[in-house]
Structure 1
Amino acid sequence: MTVVIGDLSIFIMCLAMRNHCLISLCLLVPLWASAADDSNNYYGQREEGWFWYKDPKANKLVQAKSAQLPEAEEPKPFTVKWLKDNMDKTREAAIDNPTNADGSPSREMVAYMYLQRVVLDKSQNFANAAEQVVQTDPLLDENNRIPFGSAARAAFMRDLDNGKDQALAAVAQKAGLWFFFDSKCKFCVAQQNVVARFAKEYGFAVRNISLDQKPLSGMAAWLPDRGQSQLLKLRLTPTIVLVQPPNNFYVISQGLSSEETIGRKIMLVASTQKILPDNFIKDNHPFDKGILANKDLQSEKLNALKKDPNAWVKYLQESLGQSYQ
């Protein structure tokens, strides 16, 4: 075969170029595959967004902690936790299958009845222990606050009534009563008689005020309403208002009320508004004795005691002891 020198040169150059292209392509294939892998990883995890970074150390730490977590222990049989987990299931099984084919109680029924016996016996044991604690600890025995026995309770109530009478007489030295009425009011006559007896017993001064500018039948002393009812926003008659000079007004009752109700409401106002001295207030609130106050239950000291039952029991004993003083 005859080859021209010029053609041979061109042939050699083409062969060299083809080899170069093949080498370049071989070099690019791994890079393309790597890029493809990276691209697939991103699109497969695109929910992580553009700005993310996985710390391999953090992943290993999470895996290590997961491996170290202990398995939850099963509660011991017949504990409260165990009963909560099993009582309903056992009862439902007994309801669905109460008897066997021969009519005898099923094992599910027997199991439930025994569980019920466990619950009742635990309740009895708890009640016995609670009674023992209460009977041996004067701070927990309610009989030390308010006597339960007939004779002791009768004496307690007599003292309470005497203290109330003294307190109302003390209030009468500092405040009086306004009695608002309407001449057409059916209950106002009856209320006037109650107010008159109450005022005489405890020494209250009374001012009778007519809303319709007319007196009640047989009423000797009265005054027309000069805007007091509007100032106090009264809506009903009869109405009784406790007045403490110079400008303190407390609506005691609206509508027909008994002497006992009037006295109780006056005592309530006198206590909350500090009309009575502290010794009267304390003597007339015996049911507050031995009661934990809000300040005791919201004290900052409790933050340091919450993990130690012995510590917070001691704190409660000290607080209750002070409440009896």
Structure 2
Amino acid sequence: MQRPVSTVAKRAWLDNRKADRDAVLTNLSQRYGLFYFFAQSCGACEVFSPILRSVADSHRMAVMAVSMDGGPSRDFPRYVVDSGQRARMGISGNETPALVLFDTATRKTIPVGYGILSADEIMERIFTLTNTKVGSDY
């Protein structure tokens, strides 16, 4: 269905798209994982961590939490301290929070976003980055 213009049709289109997105995200865990770069001293990370935890749990996505300052995360108690992972992925800077998608098939990283993202933003960005073709309606 093309993107509709009437209010009722838009609502139906968005509902269908959300259902498609949720189904796709649940199946992505077989190919993709997430790297979450955080810092204990980061206030935005305190806000973002539980949002990411909820999305990851609801879609069974693996998250490798990487502490940029060596400190722990309440929502990701199994974390590693950055020992060059970020640089090896080609992700420059030290901004936190940072969310990166890792494609196990191609071994490539795909930045999802920096800063606080809502659950819907995380899911929509991952869906768009993994399931839309350039030039298609999203």
- Displacement, 1:170? 2.2
Q: Is the Cα–Cα contact under 8 Å of residues 49 and 75 in structure 2 kept in the other structure?
A: no
Residue 180 (1) aligns with residue 37 (2): yes
Q: Distance in 2 between matches of 1:253 and 1:238?
A: 8
Identity of aligned residues (%): 23
Determine which of 242, 253, 265 is the counterpart of 2:125: 265
2:110 aligns to what? 250
How large is the RMSD of aligned CA atoms in angstroms? 2.2
Q: Is the Cα–Cα contact under 8 Å of residues 50 and 75 in structure 2 kept in the other structure?
A: no
Say how many residue pairs are matched. Answer: 133
Residue 155 (1) aligns with residue 12 (2): yes
- 1:265-317 deviations in Å (ceiling 9; x for gaps): 21222136xxxxxxxx6xxx5x47xxxxxxxxxxxxxxxxxxxxxxxxxxxxx
- Displacement, 1:218? 6.2
Relative to its length, the structure with more strand (as a share) is: 2
- 1:121-154 deviations in Å (ceiling 9; x for gaps): xxxxxxxxxxxxxxxxxxxxxxx83333333332
1:189 aligns to what? 46
TM-score (norm 1): 0.38
Runs of 4+ in structure 1 off by over 4 angstroms are none
- Displacement, 1:253? 0.8
Larger radius of gyration: 1
Q: Is the Cα–Cα contact under 8 Å of residues 68 and 81 in structure 2 kept in the other structure?
A: yes
Relative to its length, the structure with more helix (as a share) is: 1
1:224 aligns to what? 81
1:209 aligns to what? 66
TM-score (norm 2): 0.83
Determine which of 85, 92, 95 is the counterpart of 1:236: 95
Q: Distance in 2 between matches of 1:163 and 1:218?
A: 28
Alignment of 1:1-325 (within 5 A): 145-217=2-74, 219-231=76-88, 232-245=91-104, 247-271=107-131, 287=137
Q: Using a 3 Å threshold, how does the CA distance of structure 1 residues 185 and 206 change in structure 2: closer, same or farther?
A: same
- Displacement, 1:242? 0.5
Q: Distance in 1 between matches of 2:75 and 2:59?
A: 23
Counterpart of 2:14 in structure 1: which amino acid? M
Q: Using a 3 Å threshold, how does the CA distance of structure 1 residues 227 and 196 change in structure 2: closer, same or farther?
A: same
- Displacement, 1:257? 1.1
- 1:220-267 deviations in Å (ceiling 9; x for gaps): 211111201222224300011101126211111111111111112212
- Displacement, 1:193? 0.4
Q: Distance in 1 between matches of 2:36 and 2:75?
A: 15
Q: Using a 3 Å threshold, how does the CA distance of structure 1 residues 213 and 166 change in structure 2: closer, same or farther?
A: same
Q: Distance in 1 between matches of 2:27 and 2:21?
A: 10
Q: Per the alignment, in what secondary structure is the counterpart of residue 43 of structure 2?
A: coil
